[in-house]
Amino acid sequence: MANSKYEYVKNFEQSDKLLPNTWIVIRIDGRGFHKLSDKYGFEKPNDRRALDLMNSAAQAVMKDIPDLIIAYGVSDEFSFVFHRNCSLFERRSSKLVSTIVSTFTAHYTYKWTSYFPDTPLEPNFLPTFDGRAVQYPSIKNLRDYMSWRQVDCHINNLYNTTFWSMVLKGGMRNQDAEQELKGTVSSDKNEILFSRYGVNYNNEPEIFKKGSVLFRDYELEQVKSTSSTKVTDDGEWEDTKLSRTQLDKQQKLRRKADVATAHVDIIKDEFWEQRPWLLSNIPGKLPNSKQSHET
């Protein structure tokens, strides 16, 4: 029995290939995590176990998909970045989004009991995520996106830290705390935290203040004054045409590299200058310890 009579329906699939030479950000967000965090008793304003679980799932995604160059997570969201020269799945948007969302979800579900041993998942309250793809044509746009998420992390965390201090330590009602915080600026919140609750916001854990950045770990490079020597007028690294063998070797290095999880400033240049492989997509040197295993 041939299937030709019905096969025409395949023609209704429309191309959703993303534009070549753009940075692709896949951002995933927890669905209904407000309710979920109540259900499973997440601590306020930040639950370290929940953040560690997010980071662990993101780690697995990074290991699973070596084409990813960096990921940034805060709260129940994570942004995964493909390099502008990435050609995974022919850059088909739905394929990229769904693969990352599914891989993240699988690991998040699988690892749950390691991070919440006392509150097992219930089938009607499984954590799920949605996702989207966004394209950024320039390095500046990409870095501004990353900065946007990290600034957002800071703004929300300062607010939440203050709010929950007022509620949990100060015994205020939610609405009253909300009302008092309306219109306040950063320094006001810092002052409330310090004078009322003895909290110095600067001493809060970096993972709360900065979020989490994941990237493949090669040897750090010294910032060179002539960092632009390798780039074209357009800010792109010269696409030296590499042989199949060279490309395979690079991919192997990426698979081999550890994925680091850091809680550092990604807004300033320093982070990017010390890790030129992030934007060049040329793997750096593996740390000595790792290399020695090869011999």
The annotation status of 170 as a binding-site residue, yes or no, is no
> Please, is 111 exposed, middle or buried when counting C-beta atoms within 10 Å of its C-beta (0-12, 13-18, 19+)?
middle
Closest to 25 measured CA to CA, from 103, 77, 102: 77
Instruction: Compute the distance between CA of residue 137 and CA of residue 21 in angstroms, rounded to an integer.
Output: 7
- Three-class SS string for 69-90? EEEEEECCEEEEEECCCCCHHH
> In the complex, what is the shortest distance from the CB of residue 295 to a copy of itself, in angstroms, rounded to a whole number?
25
For a copy of itself, give the closer residue by CB, 98 or 274. Answer: 98
Q: What angle do CA 158, 212, 269 make, to 5 degrees?
A: 90
Q: Could you identify the residue written with the tokens 């957002």?
A: 152
Nearer to a copy of itself, 12 or 183 (CB): 12
Measured from the CB atom, the residue of 166 and 279 that comes closer to a copy of itself is 279
CB of 158 to a copy of itself, least distance (A): 8
Looking at 219-289, which runs of residues are DSSP E strands? 258-262
The pair of three-digit structure tokens given for residue 39, joined into one six-digit string: 């259900």
- Return the number of the residue (144 or 176) whose C-beta is nearest a copy of itself: 144
Choice between 187 and 195, CB closer to a copy of itself: 187
Q: Is 75 annotated as a binding residue?
A: yes
Least distance (Å) between residue 38 CB and a copy of itself: 18
Residue 45 and residue 165 in contact, taking contact as beta carbons nearer than 8 Å:
no
* 239 among annotated binding-site residues: no
We find the least distance from the C-beta atom of residue 292 to a copy of itself, in angstroms, to be 24
Instruction: State in angstroms the smallest separation of the CB of 214 from a copy of itself.
Output: 17
Strand partners, 290: none
- Asked if residue 34 belongs to a known ligand binding site, the reply is yes
Task: Tell me the binding residues for GTP.
Answer: 29-34, 75-76
Task: Tell me the binding residues for Mg(2+).
Answer: 29-30, 76
Task: Tell me the binding residues.
Answer: 29-34, 75-76
